[in-house]
Every structure is written in structure tokens, then in C-alpha cells.
Amino acid sequence: MSDSVERIKTLIIGSGPAGYTAAIYASRADLKPVLYTGMEPGGQLTTTTEVDNFPGYPEGVDGPSMMVQLQQQAERFGTEVRIGMITSIELSDKVGGIHKAVVDNNKEIEAEAVIISTGATARYLGLESEQRLRGGGVSACAVCDGFFYKGQDVAIVGAGDTAAEEASYLANICNKVTMLVRRDEMRASKAMQHRVNSIKNIEIKYNTEVDEVLGDQVVEGLRIVNNQTGEKEEIAITGLFVAIGHKPNTDIFKGQLDMDETGYLITKGKSTKTNKPGVFAAGDVQDKEYRQAVTAAGTGCMAALDAERYLASNE
């Protein structure tokens, strides 16, 4: 551990749309934010090709470019963006207390306010072929990428509310959606199950898993396996959507911040306040329902405004 401790006013953890929007607002309000990017600078959007649903980009924008622009906008007002990971943190219980964070297991930093925008990570199946074809037809976000498969045949893996919702979203755009459910029933709510069952161009295959994603550069099909009979089958598709859940990046806050049973941070009412004074949460780390770049950006703005009011009230 290096021995010099740096004291800052506002620490922002995470560099997706929530973190950068918080940074834009915080730096304009003179909260002197220092933003640590985390392991995946730019967040989940950097794994998306085209972003067509963020307002203000009539021609669309590719995810990585958009994140560079957000970073530049935050830096223009004085945000200090640093590559690094907050590896542990000790959050104060007191109003006006100092929060202590460690960067890359090495550098100590103290902050008066903390904005957590560490996001969530989509879960993938873990197949080699699936990982190789991410961005080439394998996606974890139907709302982001479904449009590119207009009129085509696609498949979706998963059986929760997200998979059911995304299957019905895709059914509106695509020719056919094959939904792969690993058990003999779905986890999704009865209402969502009813919805997917009633849509004619969704075919649900139960007890079915992906054995291999087929294709060299782009997805051309799937080899699926019935886990009861062992029978394998190939289906022709151009897009595979993986909707088997997300993991919020909240491990370092366990035992300190209130979380729901799946690890998402709980914020108070309509605010971004957590259970610790001066600690705010924005973006996917506190939202398992909407998970859009624009909603993340909106809560990033809220977190900066909440932090500004908190810091002003302590002066």
C-alpha cells in the first residue's frame, strides 16, 4: 500500500452512462469529481455495436464512440478520469463523514461523497463459440440489438421475465423467435408466460440448452440439445440473444449497503440515496428493470444533484 492518502470531494466509481453523466453534472457544480473507470472503461455499451435508441443521435452511434464522447464531455468540465479499480471501500455512517476507498489494492483515497455507478454484468452461457461470436450475432440485449435482425430468425436463451419480455419484443421485429428453456417450465411471471405463449411466431422449446453456436464470423445457426433425451438438433438462426440474468457489480459494498436478494443496491424513494449518508447509486447497479443507457444517464444526473445538495448542507 502506498503511504500517501489523497483527499477528494467526490468519488465516482464506474464509467458507463450513469458515471459519466454524474461526472458532467458534478464537475459543472464544482464537486471536483474523480472518476475511476473500473475494469471495463465505458461499461457495457462498449460491447454494443450500434446504439440507435439514445436521444440526440438521429443516425445512431457506435457504443465505444459514444462512451468516448461522454468521457470528453465530463473532462471538459474538469472531471478527472482515471483508469483503475476500486478494490475495497469503507463507507462512513456519519453525516459529513469521510469514505475511504482503495484503488487497485494499492492507493488510498478519501472522499466526502461517493457516487456508485458500477453497473451490472450480463451473464453468458460460457461456451467458446458464444464468446467468439459476441458482436457477430450473439447479444445480451434485445432492445439494443434486436433491430438488426428485422425479418430474420433468432433464438433467445432464458426463461425469466427478461427473456419473456425480450422474446415478445423480438417477435415484433423478427420473423421467428425460438425460446430455449432449460427446465420443463419457465421462471417468468404467469402473465409474461401467457404473453409469450400467445404470440404465434415464438416457439418455446423446453428442456433445451445450447450445445454450440454455429458460424465462423457471424452466427449462422445453433446446435441445441434436449437435456432429457440427449437428442441434438441444428436450427438456422442469425441472432442469439442470451437473457439468463445480470450480476450487479456490488461485491465490495456487501455488508455496508442495503441490497436486494440478488445484490442490486437499494435507493431511497425517488432519490439515489443509499443507506449511508453521502453515498449515492445510479445506473444498472440499482436498476434491474429498465437497464437502458438513457435511464442510467438520468439517474447519474440525479446522483450528482443529490450529492451536490448533500455536500452543500454539510458546509
How many residues belong to the site for ligand NDP (CB under 6 A)?
17
Report, in Å, the least distance between residue 196 CB and ligand NDP: 12
Distance between CA 170 and CA 174 in Å, rounded? 6
145 is catalytic: yes
174 is catalytic: no
Report, in Å, the least distance between residue 311 CB and ligand NDP: 33
Distance between CA 200 and CA 177 in Å, rounded? 10
Residue 263 is a binding residue for ligand NDP (CB under 6 A): no
Residue 162 is a binding residue for ligand NDP (CB under 6 A): yes
Which contiguous run of DSSP H or E holds residue 286?
none
Residue 160 is a binding residue for ligand NDP (CB under 6 A): yes
Interstrand relation of 86-90 and 99-103 (parallel, antiparallel or unpaired): antiparallel
Residue 288 is a binding residue for ligand NDP (CB under 6 A): yes
Report, in Å, the least distance between residue 183 CB and ligand NDP: 4
Using a 10 angstrom Cβ sphere, with 0-12 exposed, 13-18 middle and 19 or more buried, the burial of residue 5 is exposed
Distance between CA 244 and CA 10 in Å, rounded? 35
Residue 221 is a binding residue for ligand NDP (CB under 6 A): no
Closest CA to 155 of 245, 82, 219, 62: 219
Residue 308 is a binding residue for ligand NDP (CB under 6 A): no
Piece of 9-17, 135-143, 171-179, 180-188 that binds ligand NDP (CB under 6 A):
180-188
- Which backbone phi and psi does 239 adopt, to 5 degrees? -135, 135
- Measured from the CB atom, the residue of 124 and 147 that comes closer to ligand NDP is 124
DSSP symbols for 125-163: ---HHHHHTBTTTEES-HHHHGGGGTTSEEEEE--SHHH
* Interface with ligand NDP (CB under 6 A), residue from 8, 68, 125, 127: 125
- Measured from the CB atom, the residue of 209 and 211 that comes closer to ligand NDP is 209
141 is catalytic: yes
Residue 182 is a binding residue for ligand NDP (CB under 6 A): yes
Amino acid code (one letter) for 168: S
Which residues, 130 to 159, sit near ligand NDP by CB under 6 A?
157-159
Residue 223 is a binding residue for ligand NDP (CB under 6 A): no
**Of the listed 141, 284, 287, 306, which one is catalytic?**
141
Which residue carries 445450447 as its cell? Answer: 210
Residues tagged active-site: 141, 144-145
